[in-house]
Amino acid sequence: MNILVLDTIHGGKTIAGYLTASGCICDTVDVYRHESGISEDEAVRNLTLKRYDFVCAPVHLSPEYCILKSAAAEGIPVISHHEVVSLIVSGLSDTDANSENTKPIIEITGTRGKTTTAYALSHMLSRVIPQKNKTNDSETGESGILHTSRETVTVPNGRVIQRVSITPASSIMPALYALKNNLWFVAEESLGICGFGNLAVLTSTEDYPCADKKRSALAVKLASMAKCGRVLVGYGADKRKVLETIESLPQSQRIPEDRLFFASDAVRVEDGVCGYGNGSGGFSNPLLYLEGYKQAIATAAAAACLLGYNPDSLSGFTSVPGRLSLTRENGITVIDNSNSGTNRNTSVIAAEYARRTDNGGIILVIGIESETVCEGFPKEDVTSAIAEIKPECAVVVGDSLKGIVQEDFDNTSDNTIIYHADNLESGRKRALEIAGVSGNEEKRGDCGGKTVILCVKTWR
């Protein structure tokens, strides 16, 4: 087959590599940098000459993009990166993901809560599915693989396989490894799931425009799940919104009713206890008092019930780095909430958590480290978060947010002092210096020793 693969920097290069190794002939287009592959003009000419069987494109690309418009005009099919990844995994694996003997292969997507839910699922699965004993070269001594925006690791030993983004192509290698070795696999994926697994999880139902504001991100995610054997919608999600969005999709992209499950129908959280089985079982965890963790743990518990496992091991689940994890440095409380899902609401929640944990004032590190992170962190949301949190000091991170200045808050009652930093690490160091951790009297500023909160949107 002759295939045109678009967007090399968001997984297109990896996809083309697998397709070429399988005997296909691929051209690639570097949509954003134009540094590799063929030019857009050459791609359009080739489409006019019917030289491609289909075009492989990411779902975030605008339908008005010249190559996609040309493909539509010539009647050449466009298949998403997600779909092609599923074809690659199923084509290269001898294992049927839907076989009764196959371990859980779980794909997770959503606007927020993906990573925490993935870690909660990994925690549960590692305790209900026995670890393979390493007795020969074909066995791994591992029970599963966890792939998130932080890293891809084997479980339980934590061997790092790769550190990459959560574009669809990043799931290919660990999925094939898991299927080959009959391990469970939990994969965090961006803007939808690929469909090679036996359970899809939508963590949240917040929507935003994608593909140059031409498409609904929620609709894209739900459409990607249409062919999945089972779909679980996360705890606390808007059930009506899900059903209405599914109804708005073409018939071929709708999730069948008998495959759609809602976590809120299977579990219920009250007073730090997650109940399941119509009240016949339950477990407690102090993290269930925190909104973000409550949703993730409850969703993982519902998934356990759906898969036929006991969710009680989630009572021992602990915080994830970058997801409201709490540490102390020289007596200063540091709450790390910097991840790919960080936004205004999660920043406010982090501040509420900080005030329950420590009565001291807050030094807030907030902003966006990478402009390529999905959904972004708009200036108005950052400003709004600072205004609501009312920190004594705010270290604003990111080139796009340098316009946030002291004068923006001079007419408010909180008198927040504004600093700037280039990235999360420099912002963190600046905040700790302000808090007095560095011991450098000249850099302590006016805030003294306080609680530092890290709320920077970044790939973690």
pLDDT at residue 438, rounded to an integer: 45
Q: What share of the chain is helix, strand, coil (3-state, %, to 5)?
A: 35, 20, 40
Mean pLDDT of the chain, nearest integer: 91
Residues 6+ apart with CB under 8 A from 352: none
DSSP assignment, residue 323? B
Distance CA 104, CA 92 (A): 18
Q: What does the pLDDT look like over 7-61, one tens digit per residue? A: 999 999 999 999 999 999 999 999 999 999 999 999 999 999 999 999 999 999 9
Alpha helix (H) residue ranges in 129-232: 172-180, 217-223
Distance CA 403, CA 406 (A): 10
Fold entry, domain 325-457: Protein-Tyrosine Phosphatase; Chain A (3.90.190)
pLDDT at residue 140, rounded to an integer: 56
CATH architecture of 90-316: 3-Layer(aba) Sandwich (3.40)
How many other C-beta atoms can be found within 10 angstroms of the C-beta atom of residue 448? 13
- Tell me what percent of the residues of the chain surpass a pLDDT of 90: 77
Q: Name the one residue in this structure whose structure tokens are 């190559």.
A: 67
Cβ distance 188 to 179 under 8 Å?
A: no
Q: Lowest-confidence range among 67-81, 87-101, 173-187, 431-445?
A: 431-445
pLDDT at residue 439, rounded to an integer: 42
> What is the b/e burial string over 329-362, where b = at least 16 CB atoms within 10 angstroms of the residue's CB?
eeebbbbbbbbbbbbbbbbebbbebbeeebebbb
Helix (H, G, I), strand (E, B) or coil at 324: coil
CA dihedral 237, 238, 239, 241 (to 10 degrees): -130
Q: Lowest-confidence range among 39-43, 132-136, 272-276, 278-282?
A: 132-136
What does the radius of gyration of the chain's CA atoms come to, in whole angstroms?
23
pLDDT at residue 139, rounded to an integer: 53
Phi, psi of 216 (to 5 degrees): -85, 125
Annotate 241-278 with DSSP letters as a single string: HHHHHHHHS-GGGSPPGGGEEEHHHHEEEETTEEEETT
Bridge partners (DSSP) listed for residue 362: 451
Q: Name the one residue in this structure whose structure tokens are 């196959």.
A: 102
Tell me if the bond preceding 168 is cis, omega within 30° of 0. no
The residues spanned by each domain of the chain are: 2-76, 90-316, 325-457
Bridge partners (DSSP) listed for residue 343: none
Please tell me which of 137-146, 279-288, 404-413 the model is most confident about, judged by mean pLDDT: 279-288
In the predicted model, is pLDDT for residue 372 greater than 60?
Answer: no
Of 212, 203, 228, 188, the C-alpha closest to 300 is 203
Sign of CA dihedral 174, 179, 182, 183: positive
Q: How long a stretch of residues is the chain? A: 460
Q: What does the pLDDT look like over 83-128, one tens digit per residue? A: 999 999 999 988 888 888 889 999 999 998 999 999 999 999 999 9
